[in-house]
Amino acid sequence: MTQFKEKAGKDREAASVGLYIYPNLMAADILAYRATHVPVGEDQKQHLELARDIAQKFNLDFAETIAEAGYDGGFFPLPEPLIIGPATRVMSLRDGTKKMSKSDASDMSRINLTDDADAIARKIRKAKTDPDPLPSEPEGLKGRPEAENLAGIYAALAGRSLADVLREFGGSQFSAFKQNLIDLAVSKLAPIAAEKCRLEADEAYVRSVLADGAARARAIAGPVYREVKRIVGFVSA
* Active-site entry in 99, 123, 128, 178: 99
Q: Read off the pTM.
A: 0.79
Domains and CATH numbers, the chain: 2-84 (3.40.50.620), 107-200 (1.10.240.10)
> What is the residue type of 114?
T
Query: Exactly one of 7, 45, 98, 188 is catalytic; which is it?
Result: 7
Distance CA 135, CA 2 (A): 32
Task: Give the C-alpha separation, 101 to 119, whole Å.
Answer: 17
> Has 5 been annotated as catalytic?
no
Would you say 228 and 221 are in contact if contact means Cβ atoms under 8 Å apart?
no
Contact 87, 153 (CB under 8 A): yes
Ramachandran region, residue 93 (left: φ > 0; alpha: ψ -120 to 50; beta: rest): alpha
The gap from C-alpha 192 to its chain's centroid, in whole angstroms, comes to 17
| Ordered per-residue pLDDT tens for the chain, 237 residues | 777 777 777 777 888 888 888 889 999 999 999 999 999 888 888 899 999 999 999 999 999 999 999 998 899 999 999 988 888 889 999 999 998 988 888 999 999 988 989 999 999 999 999 999 999 999 999 999 999 999 999 999 999 999 999 999 999 999 999 999 999 999 999 889 889 989 999 999 999 999 999 999 999 999 999 999 999 999 876
**Burial environment of residue 154 by CB neighbours within 10 A (0 to 12, 13 to 18, 19 or more):** buried
At 128 the pLDDT is 96
Q: Has 102 been annotated as catalytic? A: yes
Closest CA relative to residue 41, chosen from 84, 92, 97:
84
The pLDDT value recorded for residue 162 is 94
Q: Which of 5, 10, 98, 102 is catalytic?
A: 102
- Gap between the Cα atoms of 153 and 86, Å rounded: 8
Residues 6+ apart with CB under 8 A from 221: 32, 33
